[in-house]
Every structure is written in structure tokens, then in C-alpha cells.
Amino acid sequence: MPHTNPFEKIPNLDAGKLEKLRRYAGLLREANTKVNLLSRKDMDDVEYRHIAFCASMGAFFVPHAGARIADVGTGGGLPGIVCAILYPQAEVLMFDGIGKKIKMIASIISELGLGNANAVNSRIEERKDCFDYATGRSVCALPMFFSFVRNRLRSGTCGNLSNGVIYFKGGPLEDELLKRKILPDAELKLDEFFSDPAYEGKRLLHFPKNILGK
């Protein structure tokens, strides 16, 4: 059953940002009838299960003005479009290798008037430019994700967290990371944040660039 107030837990949402998040939900529903961006079974409660879920980032991370964020494997624009709405001071590039998805995301970006966002039909590892942060949401195993982004991240601190990876993770860390002691230095437990046991085991994690390996 859809939540009556899906964004009640999200901090610092002014009326403009809230309106854009709600508009995004409507545009995502419409787009999903044409291109399979998200599972259709989630569409009834997309505001809470997907958009508010990603907007929890606002309680965890705030980028500085001019920070560059790469959303890798953006799919339906999650969390990239949410980041662009929450952080108008940052530049957000959304990457996906599936052209029809990126075309639809570009249309949604235009409809929402997000001048700080762009949708890119390529893989981030093919780029020559660099970013301060890379975001992802269950894109692939974390060691593989790190291999995609680590050479496209620059050192420094362009927000309340040092430059690196901000990742929505379900389940335990991979053994490879534990053995190499590649561990997050900050986390937000999403079941506690939302007071929702359905999110048990789901976390938002930050990994600094300097521990991602070479």
C-alpha cells in the first residue's frame, strides 16, 4: 500500500525540491510504460520505495558548490536525478550503457528543468574527465564497481565526506573487500533511518577514494 507521506523522513526538503521529487515520480511512472526502467510491481509506491529511499542521501551527504557527481548505472535515474534535485549546487552526470534508458532519463531531466544534470550513454571508465564522487545503487558487486570508478575519481574533499564512492548496499560486504580491509568510513542504516524493518540490511555507505586500490 502506498505511503501517505513518503518523504516525511527526508531532511531539508523545501517546497521546490519536494515538488520536483513528486513530479519525478509521475514522469517515472509514465516513462516506465514505454521503457523498462524499474520493476512494474514497484510503481504503486515508487515515491517511497525508490525516490525517498534514494533521497535518504540528504541525511548522509552534502556536496560543496561545484562538486561533480557521477551516477554509475543510473537505470531509472536513481539516485542521479534525486541527487540533482537535492543538490542544485553540484553537477550530476548519469551514466548508463543502454541508450533507450538514457534517452528517457534525458527527457525527464529536461521536463524537470534540472540544469545541473546530464544523461550520458557511455561507461564511466571510457571517460577522460574526473569526478569528486561516484554513486550507485545495487549496480554490481562492490569490487567491480570500484574497478569502474577509481581512476575517474580525484582526490580531495568536496563535501562533508571525502571524495570517493557513495553506495546503496544490501547485504554484507564482499569477502574480497574484508580481506583487503577496504571498509566504509561512514554508513547510514536505512532500516533505522526509515523505521522500516523491510529495509533491514540495507545501508548507505561511503568509501574514500584513497582506499579503493589501483
Give a yes or no: residue 29 inside a domain. Answer: yes
Give a yes or no: residue 118 inside a domain. Answer: yes
Helix or strand run (H / E) with residue 26: helix 15-32
3-state SS class at 118: strand
Task: Give the pLDDT band of residue 43 (cuts 50, 70, 90).
Answer: low
Residue 175 has pLDDT above 80, yes or no: yes
CATH of residue 163 = 3.40.50.150
Average pLDDT score over residue span 170-195: 94
Give a yes or no: residue 183 inside a domain. Answer: yes
What is the span of the domain harbouring residue 132?
Answer: 15-211
Q: Among 91, 65, 93, 80, which residue's Cα sits nearest to residue 159?
A: 65
Average pLDDT score over residue span 167-171: 94
Give a yes or no: residue 57 inside a domain. Answer: yes
Give a yes or no: residue 7 inside a domain. Answer: no
Q: Residue type for 106, please?
A: A
Give a yes or no: residue 131 inside a domain. Answer: yes
pTM listed for this prediction: 0.95
Domain count, the chain: 1
> Comparing 130 with 97, which gets the higher pLDDT?
130
For residue 36, what pLDDT is reported? Answer: 74
* Segments in 33-119 forming alpha helices (H): 46, 53-55, 80-86, 99-112
Task: Give the pLDDT band of residue 42 (cuts 50, 70, 90).
Answer: low
Give a yes or no: residue 75 inside a domain. Answer: yes
For residue 140, what pLDDT is reported? Answer: 87
Give a yes or no: residue 8 inside a domain. Answer: no
For residue 107, what pLDDT is reported? Answer: 95
User: In the chain, where do the E strands start and end?
Assistant: 68-72, 91-95, 117-120, 133-137, 164-170, 186-189, 202-208
On average, the pLDDT of the chain sits at 93
Query: Helix, strand, coil: what percent of the chain each, to 5?
Result: 40, 20, 40
Lowest mean pLDDT among 10-24, 26-40, 196-210: 26-40
For residue 112, what pLDDT is reported? Answer: 98
Residue 1 has pLDDT above 60, yes or no: no
For residue 5, what pLDDT is reported? Answer: 86
Residue 41 has pLDDT above 90, yes or no: no
For residue 193, what pLDDT is reported? Answer: 97
* 109-162 confidence digits (pLDDT tens): 999 999 999 999 998 988 999 999 999 997 788 999 999 999 999 999 999 999
Distance, CA of 1 to CA of 183 (rounded, Å): 36
